[in-house]
A and B are shown apart, each in its own frame.
Chain A
Amino acid sequence: MKTVSIEPHFQAWRKAARALLAEQCHPSDVLWSSQGGEDNGLLFADEIAQLPAGAPRLKVPKTFVRLAETVSAHRSGKQWALLYEILWEMTCGNDRRILSNQTDSRLRSLERMRATVSRDIHKMRAFVRFREVKTKDDAEGNTGEGAVENFVAWFEPDHLIVRLNTAFFRKRFAGMCWSILTPDECVHWDGTSITYTEGVEKSVAPDSDELEELWLGYYRSIFNPARLKIKMMQTEMPKKYWKNLPEAEIIEELINGSGGQVQAMMDEQQRPLKPEPRNAYLARLKEMDLKQAGSSTEKDLRAHDGES
């Protein structure tokens, strides 16, 4: 039995897996761990270049690489052994079709992990909330042309997805400077390049933004109290995210107030019609209606004639 301890990311697993394959190490003889033996992390670091002669084919389908890249972000650490088992079957086991076997239990586990990680990636894109940070330039009033705004967000992902999401945020927010801080690691964009730093605590992130008053005002107004569907909201926006969403603080207030609001609408007097204003455009609409009515009766008449 061999214990392999790796850093919890795809590249580290790939290095280790390639080396293990080269040694024809059967999956049942390997115990994977990514729980932080950093000392052993580089165990196989230098061995990749020289695969022994007669080593198995290492070409695998792109879909497998993509699957592996995504599930590598899973925090459980259970993906490493599963990935290696599949890799083994595809290469040493010569079962290249295993990926299309929808009912293989290991693949299904990996697929579930992929779905979980993908969801986490998606939710990060949705629920990151940037807060503007005023820089020295702003304070001195240098906010003219070319002044770049700075934004900082705090997010707590379930899985190790910060790097998987970097490209998305870079492409979307190219024209501003931003940082996303998480407990795992932080990513920064200064308008030209991306850098990563170690994870931080929430207290480092800004705790307010003047604009949030408008955002909360919008959230309050776009809510329709006559169609309360709290469960639906919580399926898509689970409570665990609420602590970092500024709008979440008024959810309860909106729910509690909705019954009264609806009752007030139902009790409201019905409004009488107001006279039509004199307006050239409304007059034109009427003409168009008349013309249409005319032409359709004409058509009807013609159709009638044809029949008779």
Chain B
Amino acid sequence: MNTLKKLEILADAAKYDASCASSGAARKDSTGGKGVGSTGGTGICHSYAPDGRCISLLKVLLTNVCLYDCHYCINRRSSNVQRARFTPEEVVELTLSFYKRNYIEGLFLSSGIIRSADYTMELVIRVAKLLREQHHFRGYIHLKTIPEASSELIAEAGKYADRLSINVELPKQESLKKLAPEKNVQRTREAMSTINARITETKADRKELRKRRSTAKKPIFATGQSTQMIVGADGSNDSDFLARAGDLYGNFKLNRVYYSAFSPIPEPSVILPLQAPPLVREHRLYQADWLMRFYHYGVDELTTADAPNLDLDIDPKLSWALRNRHSFPIDINRAPLEMLYRIPGLGVRNAKRIVRLRRHHGVSLEDLIKLRVNLKKTMPFMICVNHHPARLELSSSDLRAKFAPPPTQLEMDFSAAPVVASAAKNMVKQAGAEALHGEF
């Protein structure tokens, strides 16, 4: 099999992993060295595929041969997909030649599990080690980590990688048992905890050395870890997803949780019928995730016991505001910053700007226009110098109707239409299996 064919198979096998970040790495570059590469600035997306996802890393599997039988995955052992295997040297060569042409920021390497976790992990590490030590590669390296691999191997992986990740895949152990019987939430959490301890420790050590202006060699370890959950493959609701995300952000300081809509694969499993990817749901989860990370929303504020799924028609911030009308309107000239964060249509940056601005003068609608605030969305929820909405001028349901799109426009783009049609056909066929599909 030639390199092109292998690349096609092993990139196809890797594309369901949504992670693409190339930011947040320690600052390093190739100045004065023999190799190429730099990291440490903002991440760069070198291209975009027509699925709207950025291409910033060469994302491949070392091999798509796999012992596991995860039913959402094209590479599971029960799939008849064509199998291929790169040698570590081949991946090194590809990474370098792509990098030198400025196609990519670096490498994202994952692998099917062959023989054992340790054996597979060693192969993956070998690629990173060759790149760093033999070719002086200073670009970005993201290594997929296997939770059951020995802690020595995880430590070694972190020495070469800028980012490590372990996918939790599904928020609850019951779902994993059904759909990914070899995977285990508890073991994944333990491995994440080990990685987090190493990241934190290395950061502290480096800071200490900097403080003492020591010239001693600084310890090196990955600067972040991330994970992914598949949305729409099991019966978990959004509240389950957000609770798990909150757990991982809170306990293991993950940099990112990615949500990947379960998308049809060419090798459907008898256990998991295909359906159209729930793209809107994925989008709302990302928005809710954003609110948790940057707007200080608590996990339990985003969904309610009565409605454990996010509203698909309006964004979760507006949704929270409509559920909590008693907190509005908020006076942007008096309220603390954290309350400004709660106003629909007002972002973190503009909220901070308003706080700076109001020291000089009372903030008016004209100021907000200059800051390019989305007034249509903001006005019902805030008070400023020349705007005082009656306290409950519009009912929440009126407001919701004002902002929610008419049902016919819900489709994200025209091209998804045939998928939806066939999915509907499938849904009828699978009427009994609804519990497995989630609420979407």
Q: In the bound complex, do residue A266 and residue B116 qualify as a contact, i.e. CB atoms below 8 Å apart? A: no
Residue from A151, A172, A230, A274 with most neighbouring chain B CB atoms (10 Å): A172
Q: In the bound complex, do residue B55 and residue A108 qualify as a contact, i.e. CB atoms below 8 Å apart? A: no
Among A132, A151, A174, A228, which residue has its beta carbon within 8 angstroms of that of B51? A228
Given A103-B371, A236-B45, A215 and B54 contact (CB-CB distance below 8 Å)? no
For this complex, 27 residue pairs linking A to B, each with C-beta atoms less than 8 Å apart, are A102-B371, A103-B357, A130-B100, A171-B31, A172-B38, A174-B32, A218-B7, A218-B11, A221-B7, A221-B11, A222-B15, A226-B276, A226-B277, A227-B52, A228-B415, A229-B50, A229-B413, A230-B413, A233-B52, A236-B54, A259-B418, A266-B422, A269-B268, A271-B78, A271-B268, A271-B269, A281-B116
Cβ contacts A187-229/B at 8 Å (1 or 0 each) = 0000000000000000000000101011101111111111111
B46 CB–A CB distance under 8 Å: yes
**Contact surface of B with A, Cβ cutoff 8 Å:** 3-4, 7-9, 11-12, 14-16, 29-38, 41-42, 44-55, 58-59, 67, 69, 77-80, 94, 97-98, 100-103, 113, 115-117, 136, 148, 182, 184, 186-187, 261, 263-271, 273-274, 276-277, 279, 353, 356-357, 360, 367, 370-371, 412-413, 415-416, 418-419, 422-423, 426
Q: Which residues of A contact B113 (CB under 8 A)?
A: 281
Q: In the bound complex, do residue B277 and residue A227 qualify as a contact, i.e. CB atoms below 8 Å apart? A: yes
Among B101, B277, B415, which residue has its beta carbon within 8 angstroms of that of A131? B101
In whole angstroms, what is the CA distance A233 to B48 when docked? 6
Q: In the bound complex, do residue B36 and residue A221 qualify as a contact, i.e. CB atoms below 8 Å apart? A: no
Q: Which residues of B contact A213 (CB under 8 A)?
A: 4
Q: In the bound complex, do residue A171 and residue B30 qualify as a contact, i.e. CB atoms below 8 Å apart? A: yes
Given A173-B100, A215-B98, A223-B49, A289 and B184 contact (CB-CB distance below 8 Å)? yes
Given A173-B30, A217-B4, A265 and B264 contact (CB-CB distance below 8 Å)? yes
Q: Which residues of B contact A125 (CB under 8 A)?
A: 44
Q: Which residues of A contact B261 (CB under 8 A)?
A: 227
**B203 → A minimal CB distance (Å):** 23
A25 CB–B CB distance under 8 Å: no
**A244 → B minimal CB distance (Å):** 12
Q: Which residues of B contact A227 (CB under 8 A)?
A: 51-53, 261, 263, 277, 279, 416
**Contact surface of A with B, Cβ cutoff 8 Å:** 100-103, 105, 108, 122, 125-132, 149, 151, 153, 168, 170-176, 209, 211, 213-215, 217-233, 236-237, 245, 247, 251, 254-255, 258-259, 262-274, 276-277, 279-282, 285, 288-289, 292
Q: Which residues of A contact B78 (CB under 8 A)?
A: 271-274
In whole angstroms, what is the CA distance A289 to B184 when docked? 8
Given A211-B97, A213-B4, A270 and B77 contact (CB-CB distance below 8 Å)? no
Among B7, B117, B267, which residue has its beta carbon within 8 angstroms of that of A214? B7
In whole angstroms, what is the CA distance A2 to B78 when docked? 80
Given A149-B100, A228-B416, A220 and B8 contact (CB-CB distance below 8 Å)? yes
Q: In the bound complex, do residue A271 and residue B7 qualify as a contact, i.e. CB atoms below 8 Å apart? A: no
Q: In the bound complex, do residue B50 and residue A228 qualify as a contact, i.e. CB atoms below 8 Å apart? A: yes
Q: Which residues of A contact B38 (CB under 8 A)?
A: 168, 171-172
Q: Which residues of B contact A217 (CB under 8 A)?
A: 4, 7-8, 11
Given A227-B51, A227-B279, A271 and B80 contact (CB-CB distance below 8 Å)? yes
Among B29, B58, B115, B415, which residue has its beta carbon within 8 angstroms of that of A172? B29
Q: In the bound complex, do residue A226 and residue B419 qualify as a contact, i.e. CB atoms below 8 Å apart? A: yes
Q: Which residues of B contact A214 (CB under 8 A)?
A: 3-4, 7, 94, 97-98
